[in-house]
Chains A and B, each alone.
Chain A
C-alpha cells in the first residue's frame, strides 16, 4: 500500500544550523511528493513539491529531491531561523487514489 514515514521529532537546532528531516515512502506507480509546514494553531501551508523522479522542489531556502531509487524525499535547509520552528509534514499523492497521505509530522524547534 501507500505510506509515508518521517523521522521522529522533535528536532532541536540552533539558529543557522543545517537541517535535514528524513522522509521515505512506499507507493505504487508514480506519486507526487510534497512538504507542508504547520505553524502553531494554523492549518498547513504547501512548502514545496516534486512530481517526478529527480525533480527538486525548493522554496524559502528549503529543498527536497525526489529520489525514486531510495524512495525518499528528504527536506533540507542550509541555515535555519527561529521563525522556521513549526511542524513539517511529508505527503504523498498516489495517482490511483486521489488522496494525500501524510507522514506523522516532525516538530522543528530552532533556538536563538
Chain B
C-alpha cells in the first residue's frame, strides 16, 4: 500500500536550534501534503497544507516564520522549526495524498524534544 516516510523519528536538541523534518511519499506522487501537531492524548491539529510548487497555507494561529514548509517536489515536503524553544516540543506528523478525493496517508511522526 501507499507509504509515507517521515524522518527523523526522534530529535532532541538545545533551545535555539533549527530542526528540519522530512516527509516523503514513497510510492505515489503527493500533490498535497499536510503537517500536523499532536499534543499528548489529544487529536491532531492541522498546522499547514502545502501543494507542490506553491506556498504553504497555514492555519490560523500557526506562525509562518517559525514553521517553514517547503514542498519542492511531488514526493518531498519539509518542515523546519526555526529557533526552536521548549514550547515547540511535540509530536509532528506529516500526511500526503495523491489527489483531492484520495485518502490521506500518514508518516510515523517525529518526536521533537527541545531542552
Contacts and interface: CB of A to CB of B under 8 A. Distances in A.
B75 interface: no
Contacts of A49: 103
Interface stretch (A13-21, A36-44, A71-79): A36-44
Question: Chain B: interface secondary structure?
Answer: strand
A45 B100 contact: no
B107 A43 contact: yes
Contacts of B42: 104-105
Contacts of B46: 99-100
Interface string A82-99: 000000010000000011
A103 B106 contact: no
A12 B42 CA distance: 18
Contact of B100 (A89, A98, A107): A98
A43 B43 contact: no
Interface of A: 32, 34, 36, 41-46, 49, 89, 98-100, 102-105, 107
Interface of B: 4, 6, 32, 34, 41-44, 46, 49, 93, 95, 100-101, 103-109, 111
